[in-house]
Amino acid sequence: MKIKNLLNESTVSKAVILTFILMIQIFFTGAGSLNAQIVINESFRFTAGDQYISESADTANVTEGNSGANVTWNFSAINLLGNELQTEFVNPNGLPGSSFFPGATLAQQFDGTYVFAKDEGNALYSMGMYSEELGVRSYTDMQKVFQYPFSFGNSFSDNYSSVMEGKEFNVHSNGTSVLTGDAWGTLILPSGSFTNALRIKSVTDNIDTIYFKGSSIVSASQITNYSWYVSGSKAPVLNITYIRTPFSNLKTVSYVHATPTSVSDPQNEIAEKFTLGQNYPNPFNPSTKINFSIVKSGQVSLKVYDMTGKEVAVLANEFYNAGNYTADFDAASLTSGTYFYKLESNGISETKRMMLVK
């Protein structure tokens, strides 16, 4: 089979690229301040219920800058593209694909994909991922994605191997990842300036053997990721990623908004835009939470519908002040299936899908 024929299969390409990125950015933990420099420590691990929202940015004229001490990085002018992605951390028990990852202690959920991780000693390991669209990727030799504590000048390396079983393809991967706290300094973002920010650089050299329709191809790649951490944020506030393969080069920039929380006093929080978050957990049984933000005070409607369009629940139908809110939905009286929830306020509406599994 010719190389170009294999690469033209979008499902294979998407799967390979996705497995490159998933384990690099997402399970780094948060930062605390110590002796004027940030230290990544165990008290800031992600736990079930944590979530954050990332947004892609234009990559033009955005570079990682210098390494070392007392560096200044100015990203105040980055152009955000508006395509937000909500990432949630959940209990792995009972999730789709959880049977492939016994012993998992935490899972990450986003866009129909579940990434499973395991705490072991002072380190966090990736066990693999599950996606109904792409299949299962499981590590035969787990990949260490972090160790504690970690700060400027620290470094570790790890070898890993995995197998991804898709619907029409398999990918066998082997590689080495190296993480280094390579810089600290002042970070300037659209949201403000942060002193003593820590930058972590990760380099992953990966070799994939892709089996597709009776043919195979070996592909080498290198992923270099730069993540910036500031005090008070579990997630990195900015990521710049380079993916280099023999066939293409890809660069991505993602900006992380303030981590949304369950809002008990929304009057003290000002929403930046009208948003309807993905419910969590999802799938759920029998209850789930829905975050939403209202920019302008007014009448707010949040309703749930079944597949036929029949209204099955009203979660909000009253005047709300501008702010961030969380609605609880109890579906104990409903049957398993797909449901839709719709938020309306001040002439703006948004609808998302969720799944009840009993």
Q: Name the residue among 254, 201, 221, 241 with its Cα closest to residue 28.
A: 201
pLDDT tens for each residue of 88-104: 888 999 889 999 999 99
Query: What's the pLDDT score for residue 157?
Result: 96
pLDDT value at 226 more than 90: yes
Q: Residue 227 above 50 pLDDT?
A: yes
How does 145-168 read in b/e, with b if 16+ C-beta sit within 10 Å? bbbbebbbebeeebebebebebee
pLDDT tens per residue across span 202-214: 999 999 998 988 8
Reported as a single tens digit per residue, the pLDDT across 166-208 is 777 888 999 999 999 999 999 998 877 888 899 999 999 999 9
- Classify residue 277 by its DSSP letter: P
Q: What is the pLDDT of residue 350?
A: 84
Q: Taking residues 105-121, report their average pLDDT.
A: 88
Q: 4 pLDDT band (50/70/90 cuts)?
A: very low
- Per-residue pLDDT reduced to its tens digit, 292-341: 888 877 788 999 998 778 899 999 988 777 788 889 999 999 998 888 99
DSSP for residue 279: P
- What local confidence, expressed as pLDDT, does residue 270 receive? 46
**Contact (CB, 8 A) for 313 and 272:** no
| Residue 2 reports pLDDT greater than 60 | no
Check whether 219 has a pLDDT greater than 80.
yes
Report the mean per-residue pLDDT for the chain.
82
Q: Taking residues 57-76, what's their average pLDDT?
A: 94
73 confidence band (pLDDT: 50, 70, 90)? very high
18, pLDDT greater than 90? no
β-strand partners of 301: 317, 344
Q: Which pLDDT score is estimated for 337?
A: 86
Q: Give per-residue pLDDT as tens, 239-291.
A: 999 988 887 888 999 998 754 433 333 333 445 678 888 898 888 899 999 99
At a CB cut-off of 8 Å and minimum separation 6, what does 331 contact? 284, 285, 286, 287, 288, 313, 339, 356
**% of the chain with per-residue pLDDT over 70:** 85
